[in-house]
Amino acid sequence: MRYVKENYILVFLYFFLILASGMAYSYTITRIVSISSLSPFLVIIINSLISVFIVIDFLFIRKISTLHFKIISLITSFFLLILFLLSYVLKDEVVILLVTYAVLFFSSSYVGRSLEEKILENDKRLFGGMVKISVVGNLAKLVGFGLGVFIFSIPLRIYMFSSLFLFIAIASINVQHNFSTNKAVILSRKKVDSISLLIFMGIISSIPILWIPSLVERFDQEGMIRLSFIPFVLPGIMNVLFLRYLKAKGYNRHIPLFYFVLTVFFMVIYFTDTPLIFQAVVLSTIITLGVAINVHINTIFIHKNKKRDKRELMQIIKVVISISTLLFSFLGMYIYFIVHLMLLISAILSLIVFVSFERMKVNE
C-alpha cells in the first residue's frame, strides 16, 4: 500500500514537472516575442545546447546523471532563489528570463528522467509504466503549453517564485529507495547504417520546433498574441489522436504523399491573406503527419542497425536531432527563409520515402 501511495505521488509530481517545463517553454517564447526584439530561436538554441550536453553526460561524463533527483531539485531551488533576488537588482528582464528558462529546462530534463525511472521501478508491468509515463507526459505538456501562453503577461518574479516552490516540493518528497543507476551506454566504433535516415529524422524533427515560434511571431504581428496558444497546443492534440489511430490501424504508405501535398498548399497560403488560424491548423496537420513519418523512419533505422544496443541508437538519434535543431535555429536568427527551406526539403524527402516504401518495407 505504501508503494502504491508513493507511486501516485511520483506520478503527480512528474505531471507538474512536465507541465512546468512545457509552460516555461511557451511562456518564455511568448514573453520574448511580446516584450523584446530578440528572436525566439534563441530559446531553441538554449534547448539544443542543453540537450546535447545531457546526452554527452549520460554517455560519457556521467556526473550529474548519477545524482539523486532530490539533490538536483535542491540545487535548482537555490539557483532560482538567487535569480529571484537578482531580478530586483538587474534591469534586463530578458536576460533573467532566459537564464531562468535554461535552469528550469536543464533541471527538468534530469529530474524528469529520475522520476520516470522511479515510476517504472514501482510499476509491476514495464509496459504499464511506459504507457503511464507517455499519457501523463503528453497531457502535462499540452496543458503547460496552453498555460504558458495565457500567463505570459504575469510578472516574471511571480513565475519564478512558483517554479521555486515546485522544485522545493519535489526535493521534499519521501521515497523509500534511491534510484538504480544504469550502466553507461558504450558507443560502438562500427559505422552506423543508413546515415541518410538519420539526416532525414534530424530535419523533420526540427520543423515543429522552429515553425511554432515563427507562427507565434506572426500572431504577435497580427495583434493576436492571446491566441498564440493554438500553434503550441493544437499539434500536440492532433499528434496524440493520430498516433492512437495509427497504433490501431497501422502505418499508411500514403502519409508522406499527403505530407508533400499539404506542405505545398501551406507554402501557398502562407504568403497570401489566408486567416492565420487556418494556417496554424494546416501546419499542425503537417507536423502531425511528420511525426508519423518520423516514427516510421525511426523504426526502420533501428531495424537496420538491430545488432547495436537500442539505447545507443536512441542516444545517437537524440544527438542528431539536437545538432540539427541547433544548426537551423542559429541560421534562422539570420536567414528569414530557412524555416521555409527546411519545410520544402522535408516535403521532397517525404516523396522519396513514399516512392521507396515497398523497398523499405522489405528491408524492415
Cα separation, 24 vs 105, in Å, equals 8
Cα separation, 290 vs 205, in Å, equals 8
Task: Please provide the size of the chain in residues.
Answer: 364
Average of per-residue pLDDT across 55-77: 77
Q: Which helix (H) or strand (E) holds 156?
A: helix 156-172
Cα separation, 114 vs 10, in Å, equals 10
pLDDT at 77 over 80: yes
pLDDT in tens, 88-143: 888 788 889 999 999 988 888 877 776 766 776 666 554 445 546 666 776 777 77
Residues 6+ positions from 69 with CB-CB distance below 8 Å: 110, 111, 114, 115, 118, 170, 179
SS3 121: helix
Single-letter residue type at 349: L
Nearest to 80 by CA among 50, 96, 100, 95: 100
Cα separation, 121 vs 100, in Å, equals 31
pLDDT in tens, 272-292: 888 888 999 998 899 888 888
Dihedral over Cα of 101, 326, 113, 60: its sign: negative
Q: Answer yes or no: are the C-beta atoms of 27 and 148 closer than 8 Å.
A: yes
Backbone φ, ψ for residue 336 (5° rounding): -60, -40
Taking the domains of the chain in order of start, what are their residue ranges?
Answer: 2-172, 195-363
pLDDT in tens, 300-358: 877 777 777 666 676 677 778 878 887 887 787 777 778 888 888 888 888 887 777 55
Q: Which helix (H) or strand (E) holds 149?
A: helix 126-150
Cα separation, 262 vs 83, in Å, equals 44
- Cell numbers placing 19: 507541465
Q: How confident is the model at residue 82 (pLDDT cuts 50, 70, 90)?
A: very high
Residues 6+ positions from 78 with CB-CB distance below 8 Å: none
CA 128 to chain centre: 23
Cα separation, 83 vs 77, in Å, equals 10
Residues 6+ positions from 337 with CB-CB distance below 8 Å: none
Count of beta carbons in the 10 Å neighbourhood of residue 128: 12
Q: Which residue has the higher pLDDT, 300 or 183?
A: 300
Q: How confident is the model at residue 197 (pLDDT cuts 50, 70, 90)?
A: confident
Q: What angle do CA 21, 100, 334 make, to 5 degrees?
A: 90
Q: Which residue has the higher pLDDT, 233 or 3?
A: 233
Q: 23-32, 44-53, 119-128, 156-165 — which is least confidently predicted? A: 119-128
Angle at which helices 156-172 and 93-122 pack, to 10 degrees?
30
Among 2.60.40, 1.20.1250, 1.10.10, 1.20.1280, what is the CATH number of 195-363? 1.20.1250
3-state helix, strand, coil in the chain (%, to 5): 80, 0, 20
Q: How confident is the model at residue 238 (pLDDT cuts 50, 70, 90)?
A: confident
